[in-house]
Amino acid sequence: MNKKILLFTLVLFISVGAICATEVSDNSDVITESQTTPTVEPTVNMIQNNDEIDENIKDGVQETQNTITYDSIITQDTTLDTSYNGKNIHIYGTDITVDASANLTNIALYVEATDSFITELNITNDNTKPIAITVMDQCSGIYIGDSNIEITSTTSGETKGIVVESADEIVISNNNITVNALPQSMGWSYDETTGEWISNLMVSGIIVDNSNTIEISDNNITVVNSTEYDSSTYDEYSTLEAVTVRNGSYNVDVTDNIINASGSNYIYAISLSKGVEDVDIMNNDINLIGMNYICGIQLDATNLSVVYNNTIKGYCNNSGEDIPSNESFAYGIVLTTTDYVDDILTNTNEVSNNNIYLNSTIAYGIELYKSDDTEIKNNNITLQGNAVLGIGLYNSSDNIINNNTVNRTNEVITVDWDELTEVLHADNSAIKISLGENNSLGTNYEYIITPANQNNNNQNFS
């Protein structure tokens, strides 16, 4: 299959009919139905170091079960040319600048350095080098920027643009990163020793694991299916993410990025999980297209973080296809505490000034599940679908909801919730609270929209 970059902009067409505004300030029904679907949450480290060093080359780096052998080592300023094509390159040392004078094909950079620059690269890889750049344990002061990275893999296995593993003070900025990958599930397994569910996320644009003081800014990130999309032929829980921050990472900025993602059963633009703290997600432009499940920004086991001034546009409609969730779900922003993640709660966060536009069979603007002490304010949410919910809280306490605007469809089209896994049923409310206590509703606004076609069949996205 030819490599291709899928760049798309979602345009949400909604014909507005009669509009009426009301203030929303009351709690709604208590719901006690079935359990939520476990949030797809990765925890496994992808790269491990071997302590044996031979002539300054660390030979034992492992990617899953396969030993990586370095073909070249760089210890000083270097301009890469085509002689480096097809190689695994180890960047080792201090104060090194690596750039390029030619387009590079099938190279993998393993960075084990400090105070160094990886810049102005044009990398095009296939199945043979499915991870372009790996920043390894204990690296610090690394800038990766001003580069073009495209990876196309049509076979199973990890497919990722940049991986940061147990490092600090890393800047990833001003890159074009395109990952064309085969949709795959994350291989969930239960660790009886730790009592944890362990996963291995196979597809992502940028992954940050167990790292601190990280900046991901001004990148154009596209993560899409490398084959013709058919939800029924892929793993049931096939998942792709554009930006992944997890495993105790803290002091991370994800700002001013353009993110496009499509072509998997489960799609996440920005995903935080497993004990993450102090993350600012600001000013990102997110565009998602799916058939089964899409989510703009998810915070799971995440604290002291801010989601501010992001634009999220999503379209998710199954058009009668057989899909894992039975209906198409779209979520703008989700804050959740999953029961199997070390009892780490999602608390003390802020969600403000975001613009969310979703068109799906079932759509949720902002949802909190077992998440406390969150301030939700000044958000503008527009939802079109068979069953929608502007802001929903389930078993969440001590939250503040103020000055949000929800534009939503009015008529509920029948949804068989017995066939779906979601405890908070979307019933075309602006705000719905189930369980929890001490939640404060200020003044919020609700507008009713009358779409030209309630079933969303006339929506165009290009």
pLDDT digits (tens, 9 = 90+) for 320-373: 666 777 788 999 999 999 755 556 789 999 999 999 999 998 999 999 999 999
Segment 76-105, tens digit of pLDDT: 999 999 999 999 999 999 999 999 999 999
Query: For the chain, which residues make up each domain, given as ranges?
Result: 21-46+158-449
**At residue 134, does pLDDT exceed 60?**
yes
| pLDDT above 90 (res 171) | yes
In sequence order, which residues have a C-beta less than 8 Å from that of residue 436 and are 6 or more positions away? 372, 393, 394, 395, 396, 397, 399
Average pLDDT on 191-218 reads: 85
User: Is-contact 143 115, C-beta < 8 A?
Assistant: no
Which residue spans within 102-139 are E strands per DSSP?
104-105, 108-119, 122-125, 131-135
pLDDT, mean of residues 289-308: 96
Q: Please report the pLDDT score of residue 228 as a whole number.
A: 72
pLDDT given at position 227: 84
pLDDT at 319: 62
Say if residue 421's pLDDT is above 90. no
CA distances from 342 to 21, 43, 198, 239 (A): 43, 12, 11, 22
Residue 446 has pLDDT above 70, yes or no: yes
Selected residue with higher pLDDT from 25 and 109: 109
% of the chain at pLDDT higher than 90: 63
Q: Select, from the ranges 105-114, 199-208, 385-394, 405-414, the one with the highest average predicted confidence (pLDDT).
A: 105-114
Residue 409 is predicted with a pLDDT of: 82
> For the whole model, what pTM was predicted?
0.83
* Tokens found for residue 387: 């069953």
Contact call for residues 423 and 36 (beta carbons, < 8 A): yes
Alpha carbon 282 to its chain centroid, in Å, reads 14
Q: What is the mean pLDDT of the chain?
A: 82
The pLDDT score that the predictor gives to residue 323 is: 72
For residue range 309-332, list pLDDT tens digits in order: 999 999 998 866 667 777 889 999
| Terminal alpha carbon distance of the chain | 22
Q: What is the mean pLDDT of residues 244-262?
A: 96
The Cα angle at residue 437 between residues 433 and 443, in degrees rounded to 5: 55
Residue 74 tokens, joined: 């760089």
pLDDT at 378: 98
The three-class DSSP label of residue 370 is: coil
The pLDDT, as a whole number, for residue 339 is 56
What 3-state DSSP class applies to 286? strand
Answer with the residue of higher pLDDT: 229 or 359.
359
The closest of 392, 429, 391, 425 to 410, measured between CA atoms, is 429
- Which range is least confidently modeled, 50-59, 129-138, 377-386, 398-407? 50-59
**pLDDT tens digits along 15-38:** 333 333 444 444 333 322 333 333
Distance CA 59, CA 41 (A): 30
What's the mean pLDDT in 258-264? 95
Predicted confidence band of residue 56 (pLDDT cuts 50, 70, 90): very low
Lowest mean pLDDT among 11-15, 42-46, 185-189, 289-293: 42-46
Alpha-carbon distance 452 to 462, whole Å?
19
The whole-angstrom separation of Cα 392 and Cα 334 is 10
